Structure 1
């Protein structure tokens, strides 16, 4: 036995067969197909869209030559685009706190043991598992002036038939969106916050009560700091979902009346798949990606999630 093989075996290793050098990169070859597939599915569309954004591809012509920053310059002149961003921000700013507060209140309610607790929690989570497009279509039927039950119930209380155009009246269209969105996604916040509250160290809250701390003082000084990391993640996830909201609004209003409820996702869909402004749509997509990257990085640092 050679001296090198003897030393290797003495060190607890296994000597390579004579004439065959060990392949140090074998483990990388094993995971290479999976990495390649992920890059193909995720990275290739991104790079291709970036290339298309510097071209001039529309329904009428396919000009694949370099067009410069003409599409990106058009973004700053597009008033409808910035209105869509404003609508998206409005929905996010209002719906997210509502879902957070209602979810927290529901989690506090079901924190203590109660008869049928598991059944009630299961029923409350059901709206979350429904497809958003189905939820939007269902609420559109419920808001329907002629056949929907909501106007009929209001009419019973009012003592006369009520004609309320929920998805057409400019004063009611946003409340109808908030009702549908909060109904579907508050259980998501509730479930996450319930799990977080269940893991709070009860010895700390009991010690605070013994020391004479009230409910709100205990909540803000002990409970909230304990659940904040989980709450921050839930806020971030729902915030990103609301920024890209499409299904519910498309099923309810299709961005109407006019373009009053048109979000950035709906506007991008209209430009890309109805007006076939392919290159301009790619430029919009990269504008949204850049804005979301800045917002997410800021939110992660602000929430203290980055260590």
Structure 2
């Protein structure tokens, strides 16, 4: 008789093959849903498909060469970078401050947390439409409040005035997504070992020193993931800007997502849109890899 120990590797190999067989349909479905559109877009980007012409012959790098001279494309990337560089630090700072405030056992804490989280469950397009009504120069309550504080009627064209469109977008974006950062950071702060902070206080460390030397290193992995998630979301910002300004005035607030939408679904420059998509993918890949290494998330 064969010892049971000799049959164990064969049983484990059989179980592994059976497990892979069970996973195969799911993996194939994911590849079909996720990989096929990506490959198809890459193929289309080397063709010349437009509203008036369906040329599926190989066009070489013609679409990619057009990217270099497309000023509107680079302006849209700049607009996206401006919103990214302002909104992300604001959401982090406000979310962290709110999390620190609600770390204490306040009366009605659970109710207030539930109310604060409500903006994140609203569809971004709906949130943008709501803020457009709030900022309306004739009937919006924001202008009325500004007028009360200013002492006279205020007519601020938030979605038209070039000096006010970015503050309007940032107000809507920060209002909706700061609670997301707040929730994640509150969970991280709740799990910080209190014995460490108490030991720092006993040693005479103040709040800021304790936060910088004890709390921040403890919550950094969670904070880094939250920054990465929000950063990727901000890089493709579309709904709020489209609902508030439509990319205007002119193309002043047109982000890369809005520009791609205009080219692909209004002007039907299908192949050129595919080239832009892969340019954005390349840029985001480089930035994400750099951020992951910088944040110490890659081990």
Using structure 1 for the length normalisation, give the TM-score. Answer: 0.93
Q: CA-atom RMSD, angstroms?
A: 1.8
Where do residues 41-60 of structure 1 align in structure 2 (5 Å cutoff)?
Answer: 41-60=33-52
Deviates more, 1:140-149 or 1:39-48: 140-149
* 2:216 alignment partner in structure 1: 224
1:210 aligned onto 2:205: no
When residues 209 and 71 of structure 1 are mapped into structure 2, their CA distance, relative to the original with a 3 A threshold, is same
Structure 2: gaps spanning 5 or more residues: none
Q: Deviations over 1:237-289 (max 9, x none)?
A: 10000000000000000000000000000000000001100000000000000
Distance 2:200 2:147 in 1: 50
* 2:2 alignment partner in structure 1: 7
The equivalent position to 2:81 in structure 1, one of 89, 94, 99, is 89
Structure 1: gaps spanning 5 or more residues: 1-5, 17-21
The equivalent position to 1:114 in structure 2, one of 106, 109, 129, is 106
When residues 159 and 24 of structure 1 are mapped into structure 2, their CA distance, relative to the original with a 3 A threshold, is closer
Which is greater in Rg?
1
CA drift of 1:32 comes to: 1.4
1:264 aligned onto 2:259: no
* 1:302 alignment partner in structure 2: 294
Deviates more, 1:146-155 or 1:112-121: 146-155
CA drift of 1:26 comes to: 3.5
1:158 aligned onto 2:150: yes
Where do residues 7-156 of structure 1 align in structure 2 (5 Å cutoff)?
Answer: 7=2, 25-156=17-148
CA drift of 1:156 comes to: 2.7
CA drift of 1:159 comes to: 3.6
1:285 aligned onto 2:277: yes
Distance 1:79 1:39 in 2: 35
- Find the residue that maps to 2:2 and give its secondary structure: helix
Distance 1:236 1:30 in 2: 33
Where do residues 232-271 of structure 1 align in structure 2 (5 Å cutoff)?
Answer: 232-271=224-263
- Find the residue that maps to 1:115 and give its secondary structure: coil
The count of aligned residue pairs is 297
